[in-house]
Structure 1
Amino acid sequence: MSDVLEKTSSDLREIVSFTINGQGFCIDIGHVLEIRGWTPTTRLPHAPEFVTGLMNLRGTVLPVIDLSMRLGLGRAEPNPRHVIIIVKLRDSTVGFLVEAVSDILTVRPEEMKPTPDVASSLTKDFIEGVFARDDQLLRALDLKSIMPADQGAL
């Protein structure tokens, strides 16, 4: 009986849900180091459009990515209600600018539905799948595509 319980609990996945441009997205909580309130960033000359700038996190300088801009949803106009999700991906740490963090949810892998075929190939690259929760759809971001290895250092 305990083997069944262990298998079931290990199959569960925790995700952090958040909004970007009024739409629901999520990432695996295993990548999240912390969630911080918005603080202004320092612009980096010639950085990609989706990089809002650099921030100092307790002595570590890291890039902050405007996820709205990166996903093609337009540039975010940060205000004190915005938050930065600090994530660890491969060997780098990066901040993701989002409107708000909504919840931490526990889901089963089989709850994720594939990205519909009507989506562009770029959308399919960024979106791992979709979770249907209550009356909301949460798009699960594929962080490896959001931050490809060749742009990891920015």
Structure 2
Amino acid sequence: MINKFDFNSNRADDTGREFLVFTLAAQEYGIDILKVQEIRGYDSQSVTRIANVPSFIKGVTNLRGIIVPIVDMRIKFNLENVEYNHQTVAVILNLGSRVVGVVVDGVSDVLMLQQSQISAAPQFGTAFSTEYLTGIGTLGERMLILVDIEKLMTSEEMSLVEQAAA
């Protein structure tokens, strides 16, 4: 057991990362908390649909003068559709020069995971793409799918939204 007050320890396992935990279809996912700008209740009435964009892009919304594309993560991850309710939220992400909103079923908490609690993403062959996954986080019996949200939201498809919104 490592003494948490041992300041001389240089082990890589001692460095932790914080993840915002959200749910989609009863599965928990984690994204780097440093990418999260804010969490808002989702109001589909405030989203303006844009023609000729992929179906997972719900449209754009005006967030204090900034036009923000809104992505439905259920559709992006090919999960079944769900009715939006009072727990549905939009997580507003700050990804360098881009602000993007992602719609999720709910946000549960923020967790600190040590490097020793993160396993490499499993390879599923060509049937399932793992290019946006950074690993699997475990905390007791709990398992989180860790998503590289910046890589996912800076994909070629997302550039279509910026062009359509311009």
TM-score range (shorter-chain normalised) is: 0.7 to 0.9
Secondary structure in 2 aligned to 1:123?
A: coil
- Residue 96 of structure 2 is aligned to residue 85 of structure 1: no
Q: Contact 2:14–2:115 at 8 Å: present in 1 too?
A: no
Q: Residue 70 of structure 1 contacts residue 146 of structure 1 at CA under 8 Å; is this kept in 2?
A: no
Alignment of 1:1-154 (within 5 A): 3-4=7-8, 11-40=15-44, 41-118=47-124, 120=126, 122-153=128-159, 154=161
Quick one: distance in 1 between partners of 2:87 and 2:69? 20
Q: CA RMSD in A?
A: 2.5
- Check whether the contact 1:92–1:152 (CA below 8 A) recurs between aligned residues: no
Deviation of the 1:81 alpha carbon: 1.8
Quote the offset at 1:63 in angstroms: 0.7
Q: TM-score, normalised by structure 1?
A: 0.86
Q: Distance in 2 between matches of 1:7 and 1:33?
A: 31
% identity of equivalent residues: 27
Which segments of 5 or more consecutive residues in structure 2 lack a partner in the other structure?
A: 162-166
Kept in 2, the 8 Å contact 1:69–1:76? The answer is no
In 2 relative to 1, CA 145–7 (structure 1 residues): closer, same or farther, beyond 3 Å?
Answer: same
